[in-house]
């Protein structure tokens, strides 16, 4: 079967890998130019623009407890895509940094030395891609699969793609919009109200380089500052030729406060000022910086099911993501895995 997957995050890529291995023709449609969704890596200028450094400005690390996800981590580790990082983080509160936070949960965390996006590239080796393709809707055209494909996937451009089955692997808000474009008689109306109830945290991811300087003593800081909730020392993940690179994420409250009408330069200035308050005056004066807005960072609630699918056997349609039985990257992986395995058997 020809299966179209909308979204190249870990849920969509995982489902696609399983289905491609089962012999299906899988095509992935992704609005950005990169694999992995929040497992995103940006190459940014090093000191004086002489080199490029990899910055994980989305998900900074991997961790999970389910047997399926641990098996996936073991696979990535065997392929030398990921390596163990730190099992504890530092903290910032009341104007000071604590290198060892008392009572913090200890767990194994993994990072990708060559960038988190290498995980998405690895998962996508069996798939065909249309990158930079914004999908505006899906149309159920009916009929028998024997004669023609029951689905049309409509890009925001003039492009239209046929599919025998469709998987929507986007944030819930975007999935809501896509499902709303389908015919009313489909068995997906019930999902609309559930998706409408899922909200997300948002963050600005601020990437900054400070040139050659003494390394800091921490790998990451969980912050209670009103502007910044997380600071990651990217130089603890990979060789940066002696240069210090940081990625900071703003708090949801700060981000939502300026969400509708913001000036990127002013936001960056506020983030640099906050870094100076947390780390010292030097942190407010990076040699270079850039930022990215994650409008849909983490879902605030989840649905008590591994995935959602229509009951129309002639026009299979399913929705997967990190808001099914969890709100993490692990939940997204499990959602994609379980749908992929279910469809591999069902559509054989």
Q: Is residue 316 in some structural domain?
A: yes
SS3 204: strand
* Whether 146 and 262 share a structural domain: no
SS3 76: helix
Rounded to whole angstroms, the Cα distance separating 55 from 247 reads 7
* pLDDT the model gives residue 102: 78
* pLDDT the model gives residue 50: 47
* pLDDT the model gives residue 241: 85
Does residue 48 carry a pLDDT above 90?
Answer: no
* Whether 217 and 284 share a structural domain: yes
Provide the b/e sequence for 20-31 (b: ≥16 CB within 10 Å).
Answer: bebebebbbbbb
* Whether 50 and 88 share a structural domain: yes
Average pLDDT, the chain: 91
* DSSP per residue, 120-145: HHHHGGG-EEEET--EEEEEE--S-T
Q: Is residue 123 in some structural domain?
A: no
* pLDDT the model gives residue 33: 87
Q: In CATH, what number is assigned to the domain containing residue 147?
A: 3.50.50.60
Condensed to tens digits (0 to 9), the pLDDT of residues 184-231 reads: 555 667 778 888 889 999 999 999 999 999 889 999 999 999 999 999
Number of Cα atoms under 13 Å in the Cβ half of residue 266 = 7
Task: State the residue for tokens 């030729």.
Answer: 241
* DSSP per residue, 20-68: HHTT-EEEEEESSSSSBTTS-EEEEE-GGGSSEEEEE-S---B---SHH
* Whether 151 and 24 share a structural domain: yes
In this structure, what token pair is assigned to residue 158? Answer: 């003039």
* pLDDT the model gives residue 183: 58
* Whether 286 and 167 share a structural domain: no
Beta-carbon count within 10 A of 236 CB: 18
Domain carrying residue 73? 41-116+200-299
Does residue 10 carry a pLDDT above 90?
Answer: yes
Beta-carbon count within 10 A of 139 CB: 14
Condensed to tens digits (0 to 9), the pLDDT of residues 328-342 reads: 999 999 999 999 999
pLDDT (mean) for 123-145: 86
Rounded to whole angstroms, the Cα distance separating 247 from 5 reads 31
DSSP annotation of 236: G
Provide the b/e sequence for 125-135 (b: ≥16 CB within 10 Å).
Answer: eebebbeebeb
In this structure, what token pair is assigned to residue 136? Answer: 């505006």
* pLDDT the model gives residue 147: 58
* Whether 205 and 279 share a structural domain: yes
Of residues 101 and 306, the one with the higher pLDDT is 306
Number of domains in the chain: 2
pLDDT (mean) for 37-57: 78
Closest alpha carbon to 9 in 336, 307, 230, 324: 336
Domain boundary among 299, 315, 334: 299
Condensed to tens digits (0 to 9), the pLDDT of residues 145-191 reads: 555 789 999 998 889 999 999 999 999 999 999 987 775 555 667 77
Number of Cα atoms under 13 Å in the Cβ half of residue 53 = 32
Do the strands 128-131 and 25-30 form a parallel or antiparallel pair, or are they unpaired?
parallel
Do the strands 25-30 and 2-6 form a parallel or antiparallel pair, or are they unpaired?
parallel
* Whether 76 and 210 share a structural domain: yes
Beta-carbon count within 10 A of 154 CB: 17
14-23, 34-43, 99-108: the lowest-pLDDT one: 99-108
* Whether 143 and 275 share a structural domain: no
Q: Is residue 284 in some structural domain?
A: yes
pLDDT (mean) for 281-306: 95
pTM of the model: 0.93
47-51, 57-61, 303-307: the lowest-pLDDT one: 47-51
Closest alpha carbon to 208 in 276, 258, 294, 110: 276
Phi, then psi, of 281 in degrees rounded to 5: -60, -30
* Whether 206 and 291 share a structural domain: yes
Beta-carbon count within 10 A of 108 CB: 15
Condensed to tens digits (0 to 9), the pLDDT of residues 235-288 reads: 999 988 889 999 999 999 999 998 777 899 999 999 999 999 999 999 999 999
* Whether 170 and 318 share a structural domain: yes
Phi, then psi, of 188 in degrees rounded to 5: -120, 0
């Amino acid at each position: 079967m020809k299966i179209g997957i909308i979204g190249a995050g870990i849920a969509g890529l995982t489902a696609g890998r399983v289905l491609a291995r089962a012999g299906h023709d899988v095509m992935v449609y992704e609005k950005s130019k990169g694999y992995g969704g929040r497992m995103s890596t940006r190459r940014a200028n090093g000191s004086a623009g002489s080199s490029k450094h990899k910055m994980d400005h989305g998900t900074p690390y991997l961790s999970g407890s389910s047997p399926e996800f641990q098996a996936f981590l073991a696979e990535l580790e065997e392929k030398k895509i990921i390596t163990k990082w730190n099992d504890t983080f530092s903290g910032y509160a009341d104007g000071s940094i604590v290198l060892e936070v008392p009572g913090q949960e200890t767990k194994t965390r993994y990072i990708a030395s060559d960038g988190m996006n290498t995980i998405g590239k690895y998962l996508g080796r069996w798939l065909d891609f249309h990158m930079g393709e914004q999908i505006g809707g899906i149309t159920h055209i009916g009929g028998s699969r024997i004669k023609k494909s029951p689905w049309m996937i409509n890009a925001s451009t003039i492009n239209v793609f046929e599919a025998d089955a469709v998987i929507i692997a986007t944030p819930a808000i975007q999935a809501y919009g896509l499902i709303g474009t389908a015919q009313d008689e489909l068995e997906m109306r019930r999902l609309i109200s559930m998706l409408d109830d899922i909200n997300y945290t948002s963050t600005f991811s601020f990437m900054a380089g400070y040139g050659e300087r003494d390394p800091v003593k921490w790998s990451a800081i969980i912050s209670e500052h009103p502007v910044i909730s997380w600071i990651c020392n990217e130089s603890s993940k990979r060789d940066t030729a002696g240069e210090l690179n940081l990625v900071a994420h703003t708090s949801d409250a700060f981000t939502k406060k300026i969400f509708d009408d913001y000036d990127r330069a002013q936001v960056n200035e506020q983030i640099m000022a906050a870094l100076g308050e947390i780390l010292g005056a030097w942190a407010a004066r990076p040699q270079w910086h850039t930022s990215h807005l994650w409008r849909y960072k983490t879902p605030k609630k989840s649905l008590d099911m591994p995935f959602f699918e229509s009951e129309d056997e002639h026009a299979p349609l399913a929705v997967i993501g990190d808001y099914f039985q969890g709100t993490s990257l692990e939940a997204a992986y499990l959602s994609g895995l379980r749908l992929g395995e279910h469809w591999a058997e069902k559509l054989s």
